[in-house]
Amino acid sequence: MKTYIKMSFSSEGGGPKKAIEILGNMGFTPVVGLQDFHIEWDKHESHKYLDKIQKMHEALQGLNIRYQLITER
């Protein structure tokens, strides 16, 4: 399973460098293309999906960064 994150940045908030720092420390990988980051889940980690996404959401709060999640099996 793989989760992709597409982000929108505002000049009034945290920028791409801050997002790369935060998400990189959480195990997300920056990608070039339609999405900005991704993370792969092996079959033993899929139960951790909700916890990881909640932690990501909390880490981005206050940075005025909008995001969209796309998860595929």
> pLDDT value at position 38?
96
Q: For the segment 10-32, what is each residue's pLDDT rounded down to a tens digit?
A: 999 999 999 999 999 999 999 99
* Domains contained in the chain, number: 1
Q: For the segment 43-66, what is each residue's pLDDT rounded down to a tens digit?
A: 777 778 889 999 999 999 999 999
The residue with greater pLDDT, 47 or 34, is: 34
Domain that holds residue 8: 2-72
> pLDDT value at position 43?
77
CATH code assigned at 46: 3.30.70
Compute the residue count for the chain. Answer: 73
> pLDDT value at position 8?
95
> pLDDT value at position 56?
96
56: region left, alpha or beta (phi > 0 left; psi from -120 to 50 alpha): alpha
